[in-house]
Amino acid sequence: FVNTASVTSTEQVTPLTASATVSAAVPALTVTKDVSSATVTSAAGVYYIIVVTNTGNAQATGVTVNDIVPPTLVVDTANITVTGTGGGPLSCAASVGNFINCSGGVLDPGQTHRVDLPITLAAGTLNGTLINNVAWGDSAETAAVSGSVQVMAAAPSLSGRTPARASGASRGRRG
């Protein structure tokens, strides 16, 4: 920010002016969301990866990461992991409706918090279903920002059997 002041007087023919540039110290958060595999099955091994980064020039306090995981997915809440370079480690909890809340973080400029959410496909989700999901992060000093990702359901077939041949079907005749 540039601040300019000027002084004029009846005794001074030329006005005096001075200016100064002031830089504000403010945190700025970004959120990226990714997935370890583009397809999700009922087997374990797929993770939503949420990274919150302070790209500003001041510390962010009270950092939170939130995600409402769609009902077509199941979160293994016992195995949520939090890593990163930020202080005040995030503490994550799950509540009704697949709402994941991680709070208590502190991020100095350039630091990150990473939250890995292990997910599997919920029973009854149809093969090929596209699942969109958004996560967001904020702090005491910033507004909420978000990141999103899309995965595809790779559901097993409803039966493991080969479809029966229609009755009356004939095999080729020799003639």
Q: What are the tens digits of pLDDT across the range 39-85? A: 998 888 899 999 999 999 999 999 999 999 999 999 999 999 999 99
> Quick one: pLDDT at residue 161?
42
| Per-residue pLDDT tens over the stretch 72-119 | 999 999 999 999 998 877 899 998 888 999 999 999 999 999 999 999
Q: For residues 53 and 121, what is the distance between their CA atoms, to the nearest angstrom?
A: 29
How much is the average pLDDT of 12-28? 79
Of 15-19, 84-88, 170-174, minimum mean pLDDT range: 170-174
Per-residue tokens: 130: 């596209």
> Quick one: pLDDT at residue 160?
46
> Quick one: pLDDT at residue 47?
96
pTM over 0.85: no
**Among candidate residues 117, 97, 111, 107, the one with its CA nearest the CA of residue 47:** 117
Q: For residues 166 and 76, what is the distance between their CA atoms, to the nearest angstrom?
A: 43
Pairing of strands 39-40, 142-153: parallel
